[in-house]
Amino acid sequence: MRTQDAFVSLPNLAEQRQAFWKNNQNSNDAIHLPQHLREGLFANSATLVPLAVKRAEKASRSRQKQRMVKQFDWKNTEDPRDVVHLAVQAVAEGHIVAVPGDCCYLLVGSGMQESAVDKLAHIASLDKNQHGLTLMLRSPSELLDYFPDLTSSIRRFASKVWPGPITIDLADSQPNSVLRCLNPEVVAKLTQPNQKLRTSQPYHPVFQQMGRLLAGPLVAAPATDSSGKLARTVESISSEAHAIAINDGETSEIGLPTLVEFEKNIASITREGIVTEDYLKGLSRITILFVCTGNTCRSPMASALMNRKIQERFADLFPGEQVPIVAYSAGVSAYGGDPASPGAIHAIQHYGTNLDAHSSSQLSQEMVEQADLILTMGSRHKHVIVSQWPSVANKVHMISPSGSEITDPFGGPYDVYERCAAQLDDYTNHWIEQLKLSDLILWNHPQDKKGKR
C-alpha cells in the first residue's frame, strides 16, 4: 500500500452485513455448512439441529469478523506511515482501532467521538482487572494541557517513567483544562471510581505517530480475550468493535501496568504491576549532576558538598528513609575508574565529607537524560552538553550563578584546591536553597492514610 492509497474510505460495516445477507438469503447453504451438517440441519433430530445451527452461526460470525476487520502487519508493511494514516482516519470517523500496547493490545478511539467512547467504556467493563478507560497522551508535556495546576514534581516524574507501562491517576480540578472541550459525558466515562482521570503514554511508536496526526485525544480500553484476561495478541481479542487491527505480534511485557495515584505531590501505588515501587521511587528522586573535565577534582568535590547539605536540610523529614534527592558527578573527558586527586581529597575533608570511595565516570547520554539539574564548572562543559544533547538545554547551568568559571586546580598545590573547594561550597549553598519540599515526591506506605505522611 502506498501513501496515495492511504486515505480511502473505510467500509461501512452495516452495509457490508446487509449485502452479505441479501446475497445469500435465497441460498440453502447461505451459512456455508458442510454437507453432513446441512443434512443434519433439516433432520428431524432434537439434538443435531441445535448443535448444527449453533456451529453454523459461530462460523458465520467468525467469517464476517474476518471480512470486516482490516488487519495490518506492522513489522512487514512496506511503509508503516500508510498504516498510521488509515488508523488515524478510522479513529477520526468514530471507529475503534486495535493497536499494540505495553502489556496487551489496546482498543483506541477518539475522545471527540462520544459513540466511540461509549463502545470503549463497555469494552473496559469486561476487563477482569477493571483498568477502566485511559487518556493516552502524546508526551509528558501534554499533561499541562489537561491538568494546568500540575506540580513540577509530577511532570518531572512523568517525563522519567513515560513512555512505558505506568499509568498515572490525576485529579481534574481546573476549569481551564482542555478537558472542558470534551463532551461532559465523555469526561464522566473517563473518570475513575477514585474521581481521577487515568493517563498513560505507551511505548509503541504507533501512538506517537497517530498522536501527531490527530487533533483530539485518544482514549483507550484494554483488549481482552474470551475469558476477560488481557489480550496479548491480535488473534485473542474477543471484542468485535474494532474496524482496523495493527498486528505487531505478541506484546513484550507480561503483567499489568503499574497504577500510581497522585494527590498533589504525594504518590500511592494503587495497583502493583510490572514496574516495582523501588524502581519508581528511584526514578522519582531529584538528581543533580555536576560536570567538569576529568571528574577527579571539581565535580566530585561539588557533588560531595551537595550531598552533605541535602542530608542536613532534608534527612529529618525522612526518618529511616533515603532522602529523595541525590547528587553525583561525571566528566566530559574522563577515563573512568580514576580516584579523586590527592588535592581534592585533602581539601574536601575540611567540610565534613570525603572522596575516599570516588571513582571517575565519563559523561553519558543516560546520565544527561535522567538528571533533573546539570551544573557545569565552566562554559566549555555546558557547550559540550548542549551541543551533543540539545533537548536538555533548559536544565543545564553553570554552577556559578554569575556565570564565572571555576578554575581547574588539577596539578596545583593544596592551597589551590582549598580555594576551589571554598568556591564550590559557596555556590552549592545557592543551589541547595533552590530546593523546596514541594519539589519532592512523597510516597505513601500501605499503612499510611491516603494523602498523609
- CA dist., res. 155 & res. 140, Å (int): 7
Q: Residue 417: which of 341, 353, 361, 360 has the closest Cα?
A: 341
Cα atoms found within 13 Å of the Cα of residue 38, Cβ hemisphere only? 9
**Which runs of E-coded beta strand occur in 45-184?**
70-73, 96-100, 105-110, 134-136, 166-171
408 as an active site residue: the answer is yes
**List 172, 372, 408, 439, catalytic entry:** 408
Distance (Å, whole) CA 123 – CA 114? 14
C-beta atoms surrounding 66 within 10 Å: 9
Residue 342 carries which side chain, given as an amino acid letter?
A: P
DSSP sequence for 129-165: T----EEEPSSGGGHHHH-TT--HHHHHHHHHH-SSS
Burial label, 102 (beta-carbon count in 10 A; 0-12, 13-18, 19+): buried
For residue 200, which of 87, 102, 94 has the smallest C-alpha distance? 102
Contact 249, 76 (CB under 8 A): no
Catalytic entry in 103, 104, 292, 420: 292
| Residue that is written with C-alpha cell 505478541 in the block | 250
Q: Which of 297, 298, 420, 425 is catalytic?
A: 298
Q: Which residues have a catalytic role annotated? A: 292, 298, 408
